[in-house]
């Protein structure tokens, strides 16, 4: 079991937190042209069947998903931290010129979740001005994560090869506000729209191979006291 970070857009992140999204599909990069499925099972996990890709001469190569059954994933999200940029040395820029090497220094042991300041105030990073900085999700350490999930199942198929149940598990609500299911609210069609809103127009028609990861919410203990969450 490994602990790894994963990123969702804000809408899907909230669905994971509420328990209405328990499945995610991730495009397989460098998919081999010739391959077949491999299967692994885990005695201590009743939902532990896991598919992987076998390829190469006589099946000598194996490609696993980024996340494996049993892995604990912490959801990285954008957050706000208070501090300033600190000069720690000199570095060369792309043209070979000397420029300051900077490091962000936190001045308050607290962070703000769902931080999206408006309007954004342009601040020169060399100025030493103290401010609340919007920090991208990719930089969130696991010690500050407030949502964790455990991977329970992994399988491989084409993007479009999914059931209505899969679409609902991806966080799609099958009904309109009035409780009726209209054509535009069919989960499969809604998921197609959602996919293209994330990956771009035409990305659904490409129908790439994906790893699908089913997961469940878990309690990972209290936030570590690196910072106080606000």
Q: Give residue 122's pLDDT.
A: 67
In terms of Cβ atoms closer than 10 Å to its own Cβ (0-12, 13-18, 19+), residue 21 is buried
Distance CA 98, CA 92 (A): 5
Pairing label, strands 72-76, 148-158: antiparallel
Identify whether 187 is part of a domain.
Answer: no
Shared domain for 14 and 127, answered yes or no, is no
pLDDT digits (tens, 9 = 90+) for 59-117: 778 898 999 998 999 999 999 999 999 988 999 988 999 988 988 898 988 889 888 77
Identify whether 7 is part of a domain.
Answer: yes
Shared domain for 105 and 213, answered yes or no, is no
Measured CA to CA in angstroms, residue 145 lies from 76, 84, 106, 137 at distances of 6, 22, 17, 10
Share of the chain above pLDDT 90, in %: 44
Shared domain for 69 and 11, answered yes or no, is yes
Tell me the average pLDDT across 11-29.
Answer: 93
Identify whether 151 is part of a domain.
Answer: yes
Identify whether 174 is part of a domain.
Answer: no
Question: Where is average pLDDT lowest: 1-10, 77-86, 169-178, 200-209?
Answer: 169-178
What token pair was written down for 103?
């490091």
Neighbours of 53 (CB within 10 A): 19
Identify whether 230 is part of a domain.
Answer: no
What pTM, to 2 d.p., does this model score? 0.81
Q: Domain containing 125: what range?
A: 79-135
Q: Give residue 226's pLDDT.
A: 47
Best CA proximity match to 27, nearest among 54, 77, 66, 62: 66
Into how many domains does the chain fold?
A: 2
DSSP string spanning 19-81? TS--EEEEEPTT--SS-EEEEE--TT-TT--EEEEEESGGG-EEE--SS-TT-EEEEE--EEE
Identify whether 181 is part of a domain.
Answer: no
What token pair was written down for 220?
């990972």
DSSP string spanning 77-110? --EEEEEEEEEEEEEE-TTS-EEEEEEEEEEEEE
Shared domain for 151 and 52, answered yes or no, is yes
Q: Please report, for the chain, how many H helices and E strands are present, in that order.
A: 3, 12
Shared domain for 49 and 83, answered yes or no, is no
Identify whether 167 is part of a domain.
Answer: no
In terms of Cβ atoms closer than 10 Å to its own Cβ (0-12, 13-18, 19+), residue 182 is exposed
Q: Is the pLDDT of residue 138 over 80?
A: yes
Shared domain for 103 and 213, answered yes or no, is no
Distance CA 48, CA 137 (A): 29
Query: Using only C-alpha atoms, what is the Rg of the chain?
Result: 22
Shared domain for 47 and 153, answered yes or no, is yes
């Amino acid at each position: 079991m490994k602990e790894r970070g994963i990123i969702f857009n804000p809408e899907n992140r909230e669905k994971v937190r509420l328990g209405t999204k328990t499945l995610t599909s991730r495009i397989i990069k460098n998919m081999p042209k010739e391959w077949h499925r491999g299967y692994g099972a885990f005695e201590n996990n009743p939902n532990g069947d896991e598919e992987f890709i076998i390829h190469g001469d006589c099946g000598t190569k194996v490609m696993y998903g980024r996340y494996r059954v049993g892995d604990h994933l912490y959801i990285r999200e954008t957050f706000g931290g208070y501090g300033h940029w600190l000069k720690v040395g000199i570095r060369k820029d792309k043209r070979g010129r000397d420029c300051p090497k900077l490091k962000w220094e936190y001045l308050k042991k607290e962070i703000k979740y769902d931080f999206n300041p408006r309007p954004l105030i342009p601040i020169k990073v060399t100025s030493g001005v103290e401010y609340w900085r919007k920090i991208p999700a990719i930089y969130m350490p696991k010690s500050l994560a407030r949502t964790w999930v455990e991977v329970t199942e992994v399988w491989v198929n084409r993007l479009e090869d999914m059931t209505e149940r899969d679409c609902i598990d991806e966080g799609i609500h099958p009904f309109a506000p009035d409780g009726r299911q209209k054509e535009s609210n069919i989960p499969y069609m809604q998921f197609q729209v959602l996919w293209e809103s994330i990956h771009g127009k035409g990305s659904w028609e490409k129908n790439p191979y994906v790893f699908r990861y089913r997961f469940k919410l878990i309690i990972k203990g209290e936030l570590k006291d690196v910072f106080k969450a606000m």
